[in-house]
Amino acid sequence: MNRLQNKTALITGGNSGIGFATAKEFLEQGATVIITGRNQGYLQEAKQALQGKVHTILSDTGNLDDIHKLAKQVQQITPRLDVVFINAGIGKFAPIEAVTEAHYDEQFNINVKGAYFTIQELLPLVNDGGSIILNTSINAHMGMANTSVYAATKAALLTLARTLSTELLPRRIRVNAISPGPVTTEILKKTGLTTEQVNGFKESLANQVPLGRLGDPSEIAKVATFFASDDSSFVIGAELIADGGMITL
């Protein structure tokens, strides 16, 4: 239970889903944990659900002005970070004929630009030997219809695990990626689909997973814990696919 003892971690988009489950797991493993989110109310709810143990920072990953304030906000809590989990992300689905500039920009702003500049902003605070974890998606490897923009954002993140690992070798900061398959979180409800459509989509996804079910956020949190901990000290620029076999089998 102490795999992250004496480590300090920041998780973007930590008030919900995979980010929240990871905050819970990191706390249980002994880490000091900061979560960011774009909604103060949701951050407070998450803090309450974690018995007040987590630190929160209001910061919109889609807004560069917010990102440029992030290091100073972190320093009000802790001088250094050992782990950064780039998790905040959105998914919107549409056929190419219906994709608008707004649809494209929103996803690239949050999922790629926000991720990239969050890493740049926080790097001076990350201890040498630290761990940066990117939450991508199996969509980066698939030809799933209507996901052209979302999948492209996740493919962009995947390349960062390798390029940044090389650039950060002198500091021994390891950058790795987790690619989840379908996981039960709030993300689909935020796509604009109706509850009926969301339920239908979830059922069809579960049918495509050899394990016969969607993943639980806690199962991705455990993968994040592996990358965050010294257990993965020889793992660098890697991708771990956690998808119940959806693309691995």
Ligand X SMILES: NC(=O)c1ccc[n+]([C@@H]2O[C@H](COP(=O)([O-])OP(=O)(O)OC[C@H]3O[C@@H](n4cnc5c(N)ncnc54)[C@H](OP(=O)(O)O)[C@@H]3O)[C@@H](O)[C@H]2O)c1
Site residues, ligand X (CB under 6 A): 13, 15-19, 36-39, 42, 60-62, 87-91, 110, 135, 137, 180, 182-183, 185-187, 190
The size of the chain, in residues, is 249
Residue among 130, 162, 163, 135 at smallest CA distance from 229: 130
Contact 228, 173 (CB under 8 A): no
Minimum distance, C-beta of residue 150 to ligand X, in the bound complex (Å)? 7
Residue 116 or 127 with smaller CB distance to ligand X: 116
Structure tokens that stand for 134 in this block: 């990117």
Q: Which residues contact 179 (CB under 8 A, 6 or more apart)?
A: 136, 137, 138, 140, 141, 154, 158, 239, 240, 241, 242, 243
Q: If you write DSSP's letter for every residue of 87-136 in order, what string do you get?
A: ---------GGG--HHHHHHHIIIIIIIHHHHHHHHGGGEEEEEEEEEE-
Residue 15 or 56 with smaller CB distance to ligand X: 15
Residue 130 or 180 with smaller CB distance to ligand X: 180
Write the CA distances from 184 to 144, 187, 202, 208, integer angstroms.
19, 8, 8, 15
Residues with catalytic roles: 150
Residue 168 or 242 with smaller CB distance to ligand X: 242
